[in-house]
Amino acid sequence: MSDTKQGFATRAIHDGQEADPLTGAVNVPIYLTSTYKQEAIGKNKGHEYARLTNPTRDALEENLCSLEGGTSAHCFGSGMAAITALCTMMKSGDHVVCSDNVYGGTSRLFDKVLVHYGLSFTYVDTTDANAVAAAIRPETKLVHIETPTNPMMAVTDIRAVADVCHAKGVELSVDNTFLSPYLQRPIELGADIVMHSTTKFLNGHSDGLGGVLVGTKPGHAETFRFVQKCTGGILSPFDSYLLLRGVKTLAVRMEQHDANGRVVAEYLARKLGTGKVFYPGLETHPQHELAKRQQRGFGSMISFELGSLEAANRFATGLKLCYLAESLGGVETLICHPATMTHAAVGAEGRAKLGITDGLMRISVGIEDVADIVADLEQAMTR
Ligand SMILES: *Cc1c(COP(=O)(O)O)cnc(C)c1O
């Protein structure tokens, strides 16, 4: 059971995960079942069909709910499935205000799919709470932000935006994928809903996709449970198990990601100049003080400018330890090229507006020995 007086690392290991009452097994079993035997018509042990509930997924949901400090959590087959489920809270005619440099897949879902269902979206620089206030209309139902943003690492003041939203009767959802609940807890800062691509730091081992919505009101629990049941985009028992296993080490992993991130950012700033490195942990970052205040650390996501596509490709093909790959948040260092990978769908004009150049690279610093990571970057950079 959740005991909010216990520390984060303790809750990450224990919440939702009592030793198995049948055998004493310390890990929650992977319940591979689609259905459950019923004792009589209308009489069951709390489970009827696995699209609705599965004990492995239930354990995970209780765990993630505790870590984010919400009142409910519902897991989906991917981060995108979670955002899609979030948007089913809305009806045709409703309007959403969104951070202008969100994950490329989020704006693609909004602009290429959900607009056809009568929803409309406005993108604003949410680092400016006044810009959020100005974009809210009578038909606005949700403000969806990502902080720090992908890939420019702009930091939004969650408390300030939550105040703006609540003054206007609008809910605030925060994509907390880049920091994980260990480094940032948006609900404590006033957010109504937290969303994650659990594929990233929560899983932490690059071996499974997933998404979660953590709610704070009875209506959230009701809606998201109903969406799981109606649309079926749920997380499988096996992936739920992988995620439970990953989250057990979240606290120690995030400490090391954060420590390694700081070292790599300082190396890059020395090598390229601070103006070419985007990381909230650098004193030169425009929202450094805010990041210090609202985050427990700065994380390990860093973007840096190499000047041209040619220079970026020379660097990328010279890497020996770090992988050139999409995604982030794994124990291994991953480096991506936003212009052709995560933000290809945004288009050249959209990227120019956000400052995503062809020479920009994004690194998700892993938890290898940091000297080895820096040595690899150095040899690829000076090739
Ligand atoms: C990866 C990612 C998503 C999408 O999640 P998937 O699990 O890939 O569907 C959403 N938001 C952010 C910030 C991400 O990094």
C-alpha of residue 38 to centroid of ligand 1, in Å: 38
User: Domain range for residue 346?
Assistant: 250-381
Q: Strand runs (DSSP E) across the chain, as ranges?
A: 72-76, 95-99, 120-124, 140-146, 171-175, 193-197, 211-215, 277-278, 301-305, 323-324, 334-336, 360-364
Best residue among 75, 78, 80 to mutate for probing ligand 1, ranked by most atoms within 8 Å of CB: 80
pTM: 0.96
C-alpha of residue 40 to centroid of ligand 1, in Å: 43
Domain match, 178 and 69 both: yes
Known catalytic membership, residue 245: no
Q: Does the bond joining 151 to the residue before it have cis omega, within 30 degrees of 0?
A: yes
The whole-number average pLDDT for the span 10-30 is 95
Distance CA 276, CA 269 (A): 7
Distance of CA 248 to the CA centre of its chain: 17
Known catalytic membership, residue 137: no
Known catalytic membership, residue 253: no
C-alpha of residue 345 to centroid of ligand 1, in Å: 14
Q: Which of 15, 175, 192, 239 is catalytic?
A: 175
Q: Letter for the amino acid at 32?
A: L
CB pairs under 8 A, 24+ apart, for 349-355? 353/100, 354/100, 354/101, 354/152, 355/152
Contact 248, 62 (CB under 8 A): no
Distance CA 243, CA 263 (A): 28
Q: Does ligand 1 lie within 6 Å of residue 80's CB atom?
A: yes
> What's the token pair of residue 300?
């390990």
Atom of ligand 1 nearest to the CA of 177: 13
* Whole-number average pLDDT of the chain: 96
Domain match, 314 and 220 both: no
Confidence class of residue 118 from pLDDT cuts 50, 70 and 90?
very high
Domain match, 96 and 176 both: yes
Is 1 part of a structural domain of the chain?
no
Nearest to 210 by CA among 300, 327, 301, 104: 327
Domain match, 302 and 197 both: no
Task: Choose the final residue of a domain: 247, 263, 285.
Answer: 247
Domain match, 288 and 182 both: no
Q: Does ligand 1 lie within 6 Å of residue 29's CB atom?
A: no
Q: Does ligand 1 lie within 6 Å of residue 175's CB atom?
A: yes
Q: Does ligand 1 lie within 6 Å of residue 376's CB atom?
A: no
pLDDT at residue 1 is higher than 50: no
> What's the token pair of residue 318?
């010279």
Phi first, then psi: what are they for 156, rounded to 5°? -100, 140
* CB within 8 Å of 262: residues ≥ 6 apart: 281, 298
Q: Does ligand 1 lie within 6 Å of residue 197's CB atom?
A: yes
Task: Choose the final residue of a domain: 202, 226, 247.
Answer: 247
Nearest to 30 by CA among 332, 245, 176, 265: 245
| Triad 247, 249, 254: Cα angle to 5° | 95
What CATH code is carried by the domain that includes residue 370? 3.90.1150.10
Q: Does ligand 1 lie within 6 Å of residue 79's CB atom?
A: yes
Nearest to 122 by CA among 105, 379, 139, 282: 139
Q: Letter for the amino acid at 295?
A: Q
Confidence class of residue 189 from pLDDT cuts 50, 70 and 90?
very high
Best residue among 103, 107, 180, 183 to mutate for probing ligand 1, ranked by most atoms within 8 Å of CB: 103
Q: Letter for the amino acid at 232?
A: G
Domain match, 269 and 291 both: yes
Is 254 part of a structural domain of the chain?
yes
Is 3 part of a structural domain of the chain?
no
C-alpha of residue 110 to centroid of ligand 1, in Å: 14
Is 99 part of a structural domain of the chain?
yes
Domain match, 239 and 279 both: no
Distance CA 138, CA 226 (A): 27
Task: Choose the final residue of a domain: 214, 247, 280.
Answer: 247
pLDDT, tens digit (0-9, with 9 covering 90-100), for 239-259: 999 999 999 999 999 999 999
What CATH code is carried by the domain that includes residue 127? 3.40.640.10
pLDDT at residue 4 is higher than 80: no
End-to-end Cα separation, the chain, in angstroms: 54
Residue 5 has what pLDDT?
A: 79
Distance CA 140, CA 121 (A): 9
| Triad 63, 181, 246: Cα angle to 5° | 55
Domain match, 278 and 171 both: no
pLDDT at residue 2 is higher than 90: no
Domain match, 180 and 269 both: no
The whole-number average pLDDT for the span 252-270 is 98
C-alpha separations of 253 from 9, 17, 52, 88, 346 in Å: 11, 20, 32, 33, 32
Q: Does ligand 1 lie within 6 Å of residue 177's CB atom?
A: yes
Q: Letter for the amino acid at 21?
A: P
Domain match, 16 and 81 both: yes
> What's the token pair of residue 89?
């809270």
Higher pLDDT pick, 297 / 346: 297
Distance CA 147, CA 126 (A): 9
Count up the domains in the chain and report the number.
2
pLDDT, tens digit (0-9, with 9 covering 90-100), for 197-255: 999 999 999 999 999 999 999 999 999 999 999 999 999 999 999 999 999 999 999 99
Domain match, 147 and 289 both: no
Known catalytic membership, residue 117: no
pLDDT, tens digit (0-9, with 9 covering 90-100), for 63-117: 999 999 999 999 999 999 999 999 999 999 999 999 998 998 999 999 999 999 9
Confidence class of residue 346 from pLDDT cuts 50, 70 and 90?
confident
Best residue among 197, 213, 242, 346 to mutate for probing ligand 1, ranked by most atoms within 8 Å of CB: 197
> What's the token pair of residue 244?
């439970």
User: What is the DSSP code (8-state) at residue 275?
Assistant: G
Domain match, 139 and 264 both: no
